[in-house]
């Protein structure tokens, strides 16, 4: 049964179809696409921090400009320092941002056999077990999600 047919059988509104069917099945692809887009953006940003346009030389402050200047000057000490900083920033972003998102998106994976090494994240565990965030979810996020679901479900029944 296709997504549209299932949504019709269960009388889902467009919102319910999006939240209950389309978003979960596309979550993993969206996460990986986001990671690739951010990586490409960082590369482009670093390449654009220092450039020449006609007779003008633009040098914006940033890691890309620092690395290009060090490489251009043949500075064998500064270039490895900048590269280490770049590597540390990428590792930090990976463990604080991307690893938790990958671990969270794993729940949407559809497999016949369960994977033995599911990704884990200490940041996601911290978020899941946080009392403060739990209260915020309970008092704001869940009621808002329920209101949206009811609003769009009522809108469909009136049509």
> Mean pLDDT, to the nearest integer, of 45-72?
81
**Residue 155: pLDDT above 80?**
no
pLDDT digits (tens, 9 = 90+) for 88-125: 988 998 899 999 999 999 888 877 676 677 788 889 88
CB 119 within 8 A of CB 99: yes
Q: Is the pLDDT confidence value at 154 over 70?
A: no
CA distance 130 to 119: 20
Over residues 31-51, the pLDDT tens digits come to 999 999 988 888 787 777 777
What pLDDT score was predicted for residue 89? 87
Q: Which residues contact 4 (CB under 8 A, 6 or more apart)?
A: 17
pTM of the model: 0.68
């Amino acid at each position: 049964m296709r997504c549209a047919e299932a949504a019709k059988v269960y009388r889902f509104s467009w919102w319910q179809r999006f939240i209950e069917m389309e978003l979960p099945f596309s979550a993993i692809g969206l996460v990986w696409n986001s990671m690739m887009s951010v990586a490409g953006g960082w590369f482009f940003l670093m390449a654009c921090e220092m450039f020449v346009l006609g007779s003008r030389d633009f040098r914006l402050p940033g890691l890309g400009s620092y690395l290009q200047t060090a490489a251009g000057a043949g500075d064998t000490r500064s270039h490895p320092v900048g590269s280490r900083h770049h590597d540390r920033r990428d590792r930090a972003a990976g463990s604080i941002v991307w690893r938790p998102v990958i671990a969270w998106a794993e729940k949407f994976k559809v497999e016949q056999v369960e994977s033995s090494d599911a990704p884990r994240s200490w940041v996601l565990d911290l978020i899941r077990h946080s009392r403060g965030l739990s209260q915020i979810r309970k008092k704001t996020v869940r009621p808002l999600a329920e209101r949206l679901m009811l609003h769009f479900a009522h809108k469909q029944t009136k049509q």
